[in-house]
């Protein structure tokens, strides 16, 4: 079954979500209050609609609560973003993802029940900074303010060792929950599995401990 999404706000962020969802064969209703933006997506999205989503009657008339997932990508108008999210929540939309503009905005969104809150600019900044600190840190997913999952490329200091001899959990308090090797991924690798040069380790733990590991071992 094709997945059903609504994207509200067709700026750079919302627009790229629409394009990618369509490329992945999803059904997407794209909404913006600006007719020019909607025009741009009329040939791309499954449906492209001009609407102001701070108007509850408009959201109801579009039947948005029938969709599985709504992404609110309204940027600068924080008030419109919060009001839209509140209306969607009250209508019982199962999953609501909202782009936050700043920490205060995020706090309010979480209070009113947004299921996922994303900060694309801040998250990309963190990702780039991590990549600059170590070329071996490939990707990064924030789990909370203090915990993350990182993809770390095994260098020659780790290669040839097993998880047991590295004793990473005891030394750093972090866990290697998976190893990607080419196309395969080993979930919960065994303690005696040797690490190969270029393996990508999926490491989970407190940021402070992961950073200690990256600085010492990489
Ligand atoms: P980006 O960085 O993704 O380009 P941005 O953070 O600059 O975006 P804006 O351009 O302010 O965000 O907003 C994204 C889109 O949301 C705009 O196209 C704007 O017309 C639309 N938008 C703003 N308010 C509403 C609303 N009440 N209903 C529907 N769309 C809205």
9 Cβ below 6 A of ligand 1: yes
Give the model confidence (pLDDT) of 163-181 as tens digits. Answer: 888 888 899 999 999 999 9
| β partners of residue 81 | none
56-115 per-position pLDDT tens digit: 999 999 999 889 999 999 988 999 999 999 999 999 999 999 999 998 999 999 999 999
Q: Which of 11, 30, 86 most suits a substitution to test ligand 1, by most atoms within 8 Å of the C-beta?
A: 11
Q: What is the pLDDT of residues 103-137, one digit of tens each?
A: 899 999 999 999 999 998 888 887 777 666 666 77
- Rounded to the nearest angstrom, the distance between the alpha carbon of 37 and the centre of ligand 1 is 9
Q: How far apart are alpha carbons 118 and 97 in whole angstroms?
A: 7
Q: Which domains does the chain have, with CATH numbers?
A: 4-118 (3.40.50.720), 122-217 (3.30.70.1450)
Question: What is the C-alpha separation between 71 and 120, in angstroms, rounded?
Answer: 13
Ligand 1 within 6 A of CB of 11: yes
Q: Where are the beta strands (DSSP E) in the chain?
A: 4-8, 27-32, 47-50, 69-72, 95-99, 116-118, 137-142, 147-153, 175-181, 184-187, 200-206
Query: Whole-structure pTM over 0.85, yes or no?
Result: no
For residue 30 and ligand 1, the question of a CB distance below 6 A is answered with: no
Which residue owns the Cα nearest ligand 1 atom 28?
52
Q: Is the CB of 121 under 6 A from ligand 1?
A: no
The confidence score (pLDDT) of residue 133 equals 67
């Amino acid at each position: 079954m094709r997945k059903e999404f609504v994207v509200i706000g067709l700026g750079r962020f919302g627009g790229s979500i629409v394009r990618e969802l369509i490329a992945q064969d999803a059904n997407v209703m794209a909404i913006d209050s600006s007719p020019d933006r909607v025009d741009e997506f009329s040939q791309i999205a499954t449906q492209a609609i001009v609407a102001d989503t701070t108007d509850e009657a408009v959201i109801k008339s579009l039947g948005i609560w029938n969709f599985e997932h709504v992404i609110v990508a309204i940027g600068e108008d924080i008030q419109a973003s919060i009001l839209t999210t509140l209306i969607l929540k009250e209508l019982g939309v199962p999953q609501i993802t909202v782009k936050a503009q700043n920490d205060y905005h995020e706090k309010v969104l979480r209070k009113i029940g947004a299921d996922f809150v994303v900060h694309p600019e801040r998250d990309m900044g963190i990702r780039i900074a991590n990549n600059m600190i170590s070329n071996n840190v490939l990707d990064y997913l924030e789990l909370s303010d203090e915990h993350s999952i990182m993809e770390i490329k095994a260098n020659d200091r780790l290669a040839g060792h097993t998880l047991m001899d590295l004793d990473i959990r005891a030394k750093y308090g972090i866990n290697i929950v998976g190893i990607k090797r080419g196309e395969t991924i080993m979930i919960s690798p065994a303690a005696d599995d040797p690490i190969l040069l270029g393996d990508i380790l999926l490491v989970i733990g407190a940021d402070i401990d992961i950073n200690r590991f990256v600085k010492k071992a990489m």
